[in-house]
Structures are given as structure tokens and as C-alpha cells.
Homo-oligomer: A and B are copies of this chain.
Amino acid sequence: MSSNTAAKHPVKYAVVLYPGFQALDTFGPLDILNGLANHSPISLDIIGPSLDPVSTNPLPRPGVQRNQAVSQSVVPTHTYDNPPKDIDVLLVPGGVGNRDPRVLEPVSKLIQDLYPGLQYLFTVCTGSRILAHTGIIDGRKATTNKISFSEVASHYPKVNWIEKARWVVDGNIWTTSGISAGIDGMLALLEHVYDKEIADRQAYILEYIRNEDPSNDPFCGHTE
């Protein structure tokens, strides 16, 4: 690649969904992409375990009672077995569902398979648990949400977990803290890929006040 060639902007985005994905982890970043799509030729694929709609309800577990009466189901375009080709940016939301081996194993395998071809890998909240499970971030910096921080970090001690972080960037891997941190992280990724003006524009459309400092993590050490 000649030194005069501008870095290619990512065009092909994809998000991995699984039963028990966290809605706002997902739709914060995706609504930013919805806005970006109005003036950029980007695309988005949605990867599920099958082509059936994927629910925010986790897979039922014996002995675990939970209220199943509030959920949302999203239609995938691709499956783990047949993912899109040539993805530039892969988004991985968190959610209670990823504690389940029936999610953790196939999604971490998918990430392992896709990572080498990506421009960026972007996880929100406990999406970084799944990433840690792949081994890809052993020895690398990452964060996760604050509520689950100790639990996730204890399971994957080879990762250099940064607790006080709204998001962390290590090479082409972006991991954010919990839920709404995905919005700050995605806006920061847009700023990194394009410029501040484009990121600020999307924040304005969302009527969202950005946290532009990745080390500004008011929820670290916060007790309710």
C-alpha cells in the first residue's frame, strides 16, 4: 500500500446476537450506524445462531426462574455457521446470555474465526467476556462492565483488565464498559475512523452528551 493511499474506511459492519443479548449494548452503537448510513455507503449484517429471531431473553436454564414477559427479538441476516464475508467491523454486545456455555462457546469460536480479517473488533459490556474466552486478548488491555468486572476478570486472568475505563483501545480491539458506554465507545470509534465533526454530529442527532475521555469512568468504584 503506497503512503499516499488513505486508510480505507470500514464499510461492512456486522453485529453478533445471541439469546440474552443486552438491548442497549446493541442498539446504542447500531443507532449511530443507522445515522452514519445516511451519508456513508456502509452496510450492516446481523449474525445469529440461526435465521430465527434472536431474543433478549437468555436460554432457559433448569432451576432458574426469570420474568420472560419482557423481551425483544431481532431478525438476523446471517448465521454463525455462515457469517458474512469480508467484515470490516464486528460488534459484540454483552448480556446475561453470554454466561451460558451454549452461547459462550459458539460465539467465541465465531470471533476467533472472524478476527484475523477485521479492521476493528468492538465489544460492549460483557461482550469482552466472550472475547476473553477466545484467548485473543491474553496479555492485552481490555475492560468490561463494572457490575461484572470482578467476576469476568477472575475468569480470564491473562487479560490486562483495566477497571477504571469507559472504554479501552488495544490495537484494533475496542472494549467498552457497561451498556451505555457502548455509545461513547462507538462515537469515539467514529471519531478515530473519520473525525471529531462526524462523531459529534451523530451525538447531536442522538441528543447525547458524549463522554470523550476513555479514562473518565464514573461507575468504577461506585456503589449504589
Q: List residues of chain A with CB under 8 Å of any chain B CB.
A: 13, 22-24, 26-28, 30-31, 33-34, 36-38, 40-44, 46, 53, 56, 66-67, 69-75, 145-147, 177-181, 183, 200-201, 204-209, 218-219, 222, 224
Contacts and interface: CB of A to CB of B under 8 A. Distances in A.
A69 B38 CA distance: 10
Q: What does DSSP make chain A's interface, helix, strand, loop or mixed?
A: loop
B206 A31 contact: no
A177 B206 CA distance: 10
Contact of A180 (B44, B147, B200, B208): B208
Instruction: Say how many copies of this protein the assembly contains.
Output: 2
A86 B40 CA distance: 43
Contacts of A200: 224
B46 A75 contact: no
Given A27-B72, A180-B208, A53 B53 contact: yes
Contacts of A40: 67
